[in-house]
Amino acid sequence: MLVKSRPPVSNSLLGIGRRSLGNFSDTLQIARRRLAVRPARYPNISWWAWGLVWVFLTAAAFVRLDTPAGVAHGQWSAGVARLAEFFTQFGLGGWYLIPSALLLVAANLTDWRSLSRRALMLVYSWTCLAFLVLSAVGLSGLTVNVLKYAIGRARPLYFQDFGVLALHPFAFDARFAGFPSGHATTMGAVFGILLLLFPRRWYIALVVTACIASTRVFVGAHYPSDTVAGFGLGCAFALACGLVFARLGFIFRPARSGLPVRKPSFRLVAPEK
């Protein structure tokens, strides 16, 4: 993030290493200082209501859709199957984690003091965004992987053998890693991020991310309830990360009620002179 003034260092490997450690240390100091002076007062969001809706939708999908989806597995048309196979790839976490991690590495190696104010704010915004994506997608991804192997639900690929509700906790077998869906969790986190950044276009983000999440059903990897549960989990992680970022003053500012609001200074494109 933004760094305090330090003596210039050379561009040698040793100098770059020192700059990297200095940038990392400065970022931690900024975060600690802001957390210390800003009490943990988050807006009064009805998480319990969100949780009840999430549980209700997951249960409804289980009761009404899971068995038909298991029966229909392998019966989709070739066109639908190919389309689902293509779009389901965009639910992989690597599409979001790898670029974010690379951007953070580049930012950590950057000599921030040499940048103009215009360039500094632009790089700062992209760095904060990368950190948000890495946090939301990464943390939700770790959580869903623990849950899916702990629960051990059989995938619809094996519906004829195990039925719609076959649990094998801690089997550590990919066949029993259905609930929740990892791809859907990633899409839920992406939706949550887009919801925070572009609240007026939430419906577009929801349609796109939900459609990608639903492809897991058509490829036979997950039941509908797996995708609903994963999507809600990812979205919750993104919103929670947004609240923490607002407290830190990164990207968002706190709102007394409701979700954090994007700061006017956050720009991903340099303003015209």
- Asked whether the beta carbons of 255 and 191 are under 8 A apart, the reply is no
Torsion angles phi and psi, residue 217, rounded to 5: -75, -45
Q: DSSP strand E in the chain: where? A: 252-253, 261-262
Alpha carbons within 13 angstroms on the beta-carbon side of residue 111 total 12
Radius of gyration of the chain (CA): 21
Note the pTM of the prediction, 2 decimals. 0.90
Distance CA(164)–CA(71), nearest Å, equals: 10
For the chain, 273 residues long, give each residue's pLDDT as a single digit of tens. Answer: 444 445 554 557 777 778 888 778 878 888 888 888 887 777 777 888 889 999 999 999 999 999 999 999 888 888 999 999 999 999 999 999 999 999 999 988 888 888 888 888 999 999 999 999 999 999 999 999 999 999 999 999 999 989 899 999 999 999 999 999 999 999 999 999 999 999 999 999 999 999 999 999 999 999 999 999 999 999 999 999 999 999 999 999 988 777 899 999 999 987 665
